[in-house]
Structure 1
Amino acid sequence: MISVQVITFALERCMKIDKIESFFIANGYVIRIHTDTGISGIGQTACWGYPEAVDKIVDTFKKYLIGQNPLRIEHHWQYLYRMGPFKGTALSGAISAVDIALWDIKGKHFEVPIWELLGGNCRDKIRLHLLGGGSTPETMFEAAKSTVAEGFTALKFDPLVGNFQDMALDRLVKTARDLVAAAREGGGPDLDLIVEVHRKLTPMNSIVLESALAPFNLYFIEDPIQIDTITTQAELAKRMTTPLAIGERNVSIWEFREILEAGGPQYVRPDVGLAGGLTHCKKIAAIAEAYHSAVVTHNFLGPVITAASLHLDASIPNFVTQEYTKADESDKFAVYKVTYQREGGYIPIPQAPGLGVTLVDDLIEKTPFQPMNSGNTPLREDGSVAYAV
């Protein structure tokens, strides 16, 4: 005779989202999601140019999110993304803020750092590349030298200074070359140099610039042209000998797949505050891995996105370096309490449950919002828009 024993498990009451707060503080738009268990999580958008638009989208999201179980992160991502037949950076930036906050809640609920929930850690510390540099060869030399002295192994800077849009090509190339030469001399052979062009060039003059800088063995050159088309960016990667990095303004697995399918780049640069949060960026990293492309997470907006990036960096095998600014450590961001600490050119992976960053409520009203979009578009001497070509 077969004996059947029925075991009944008592299901815990599902946690529910009961409030979502929005803040314009320091240089960003931040949300905090509260649950009926007392656990809360914070997230931030990297759509810094239009944070007011993100705020309005989050207001729409609230109608769905209030009352939901915050642990169903993938389902909520899909629901929010498919809420209407639209896409873009404002929408993805809003989803990113929500997604990061939900992962913060989930980590705190299970009392583990987020990276533990993303598959565990692939590394014990996160390599950083410092945002820095100088506008003259002399200041660039000193910047590179001090970067090494602080323990960093990589430096990122923009060598197109001044009125680059009105420079003759030879002047533009020589100015940039002199700055890169100074960085190489000041930093030596053990400092990786990353050149950020901020989408200032055309396909043709960017190839001329890359050729001139190739002797300095750059780690990579980033965003030389406007991000208007995927195919043109990929084609550029094929024509350069220096590795190319792009992707900080791309927002979906579909865009990154098309970029990589078209033949480039060697490095992808998703921003967890713009490209769908941790949920989506983990998928982007997996797509890049299939193309032997490395991930260089983008961020310069402060501790919330830095922390979110650290958790992604820790959990993926094809990460190589994390963008970092020492402004994270300044009083500008005193409104955030962080549980991790930089050690030279690295940050040990966070160990606190959740994200590892919380808001200091007493400082929220004392931290005024400082918009980053000035509304000024660079013009050439003839009055035309510098970025139009």
Structure 2
Amino acid sequence: MMKIRDVQTIFLAKHLYVRVTTDNGLEGIGECGTWGFLEASAGAVEVFREYLIGKDPLKIEYHWQYLYQSFCFRGAAIVGALGAIDIALWDIAGKYYGVPVYRLLGGGDRCRDKLRAYCHVKSPSIEEHIRLIQEAKKKGFTAVGHLNPYLDPPKGEVAPVKPYAKRVSEAIEHVRQFREVAGNDMDLCLEIHRRLDMAEAVALARGVEEFHPFFFEDPLMPDNIDTMGILAGKIPIAIATGERFISIQDFAMLFVRNGAQFARVSVCAIGGLTPSKKIASMAEAFGIRVVPHNPGNLSPISTAACVQFAASIQNFAIQEIPADDGEGLKAEMVQTDVRVENGYVMIPDSPGIGASLRNGVADHPKYAYAVRKAKATVLDDGSCGNR
């Protein structure tokens, strides 16, 4: 029987990876998605490591349940650790059987030949938003996302307190400009970053309805799931949410409250591929489509895991691709078989998740870990703004 020989945490740049190795030489890689608390997640991995050494890596569901139920405590740092381990174990399973992970997740084969994608458009200026939309169109994308009608300033900078009417009217005007440059050949995925209260969310949603956004992402804070259900009943456009959820029960509560039309499942933050597949099945029963969350804070390891997940589910909608996913340090650190061509993700057929860390990067000073500092959006009246 194959056994786990070691479980390692690897900090690189602003990322935390978990590498699992077996006694027959197979190796799996996973990434932690709770990027604000990577040090805490690494501590959880070390606790889980003691249990995993010597175990059969193919007992993925059993190990997930054992580790999740081994203590009384839950939380983002814990499921982030579980997610990185889970993805690494699925990577090993794919390599052991010589197949891409999507073949093991259910159904025996992928549900589509390629994945429609949207790329990030992010800037504090409307002019840069317009330029980036035009650039995405030239690359063949039929959707753009991370479009923030409020043009958030960088975190840590002071943001002005604006009158309600001005805030809402300016945001609506920005969406009008997005649509004008995109035309009807591109979908607009609006990203609100949890910054609104109920009244403003309703006003903005009704104001942008005529521009037919694909979805309205995270208009409210995620802490009270009831409020998203109430909002969904008041507005004429589709809500996408869930990227900050940390359990399948969070999604179940959202679905029964009719709080979303798109489930933003964050594979690396929800606990890995094992719970992600369960969430997608629940969503399908409710007629809800899945948009795997793949933020710019993560690397191509996350993208590869999302692609395997997306390929295995019928109710997939669109895949988020950060603008720098294959560039700079990320490309230097990660070898990936995932390719984006003319606005679509090509699904790799290589065994496992189709991505790995490049040789030698773990010991190279160029990729030394950079600790993230706590930064919140501060308004010019001295208060903290929603983010």
Cross-structure match for 2:59: 72
Q: Match of 1:188, SS?
A: helix
Q: 2:139 aligns with which of 139, 150, 154?
A: 150
Q: Does 2:367 correspond to 1:367?
A: yes
Cα distance per residue 1:159-191 (max 9 Å; x no partner): 212466612112212222222122111111010
- Over aligned residues, Cα RMSD in angstroms? 1.4
Using the alignment, how far apart are the partners of 2:182 and 2:355 within structure 1? Answer: 33
Q: Does 2:30 correspond to 1:49?
A: no
How many angstroms does 1:137 deviate by?
Answer: 3.7
Cross-structure match for 2:149: 159
More moved, 167-176 vs 53-62:
167-176
Q: Match of 2:345, SS?
A: strand
Cross-structure match for 2:71: 84
Q: Does 2:84 correspond to 1:97?
A: yes
Cross-structure match for 2:375: 376
Cross-structure match for 2:117: 128
Using the alignment, how far apart are the partners of 1:222 and 1:148 within structure 2? Answer: 21
Q: Match of 1:213, SS?
A: helix
2:159 touches 2:378 (CA, 8 Å); kept in 1? no
| Equivalent runs, 1:1-389 vs 2, <5 Å | 14-119=1-106, 120-156=109-145, 157-161=147-151, 162=153, 166-300=161-295, 301-333=298-330, 334-364=332-362, 365=364, 366-371=366-371, 373-387=372-386
How many angstroms does 1:368 deviate by?
Answer: 2.2
Amino acid at match of 1:368: A
Using the alignment, how far apart are the partners of 1:142 and 1:203 within structure 2? Answer: 32
Q: Match of 1:329, SS?
A: coil
Cross-structure match for 1:8: none
Q: Match of 1:317, SS?
A: coil
Using the alignment, how far apart are the partners of 1:27 and 1:272 within structure 2? Answer: 18
Amino acid at match of 1:369: Y
Mark the runs of 5 or more structure 1 residues left unpaired by the alignment. 1-13
1:137 touches 1:178 (CA, 8 Å); kept in 2? no
How many angstroms does 1:36 deviate by?
Answer: 0.2
2:159 touches 2:377 (CA, 8 Å); kept in 1? no
Cross-structure match for 1:7: none
Using the alignment, how far apart are the partners of 1:240 and 1:332 within structure 2? Answer: 41
Q: Match of 2:165, SS?
A: helix
How many angstroms does 1:122 deviate by?
Answer: 0.3
Using the alignment, how far apart are the partners of 1:332 and 1:154 within structure 2? Answer: 26
TM-score calculated relative to the size of structure 2: 0.94
How many angstroms does 1:262 deviate by?
Answer: 1.1
Using the alignment, how far apart are the partners of 2:384 and 2:276 within structure 1? Answer: 33
Amino acid at match of 1:370: A
Question: How many pairs align?
Answer: 374
Cα distance per residue 1:342-368 (max 9 Å; x no partner): 112111111110011111132222312
Using the alignment, how far apart are the partners of 2:13 and 2:86 within structure 1? Answer: 21
1:160 touches 1:176 (CA, 8 Å); kept in 2? yes
Using the alignment, how far apart are the partners of 1:278 and 1:37 within structure 2? Answer: 24
How many angstroms does 1:303 deviate by?
Answer: 0.4
How many angstroms does 1:215 deviate by?
Answer: 1.1
Using the alignment, how far apart are the partners of 1:56 and 1:331 within structure 2? Answer: 28
Q: Match of 1:308, SS?
A: helix
- Percent identity (aligned): 37
More moved, 45-54 vs 25-34:
25-34
How many angstroms does 1:339 deviate by?
Answer: 1.5
Using the alignment, how far apart are the partners of 1:167 and 1:324 within structure 2? Answer: 32
1:268 touches 1:288 (CA, 8 Å); kept in 2? yes
Cα distance per residue 1:354-385 (max 9 Å; x no partner): 011111132222312234x4312222222222
More moved, 339-348 vs 147-156:
339-348
Cα distance per residue 1:10-64 (max 9 Å; x no partner): xxxx100011111111221101000000000000111000000000000000110
Cross-structure match for 1:10: none
1:173 touches 1:209 (CA, 8 Å); kept in 2? yes
2:5 touches 2:54 (CA, 8 Å); kept in 1? yes
Runs of 4+ residues deviating >6 angstroms: none
More moved, 137-146 vs 102-111:
137-146
Using the alignment, how far apart are the partners of 1:351 and 1:171 within structure 2? Answer: 51
Using the alignment, how far apart are the partners of 2:113 and 2:307 within structure 1? Answer: 11
TM-score calculated relative to the size of structure 1: 0.93
1:342 touches 1:348 (CA, 8 Å); kept in 2? yes
The verdict on how the C-alpha distance between 1:281 and 1:269 changes in structure 2, with shifts beyond 3 A counting, is same
The verdict on how the C-alpha distance between 1:239 and 1:165 changes in structure 2, with shifts beyond 3 A counting, is farther
1:17 touches 1:66 (CA, 8 Å); kept in 2? yes
Q: Match of 1:46, SS?
A: coil
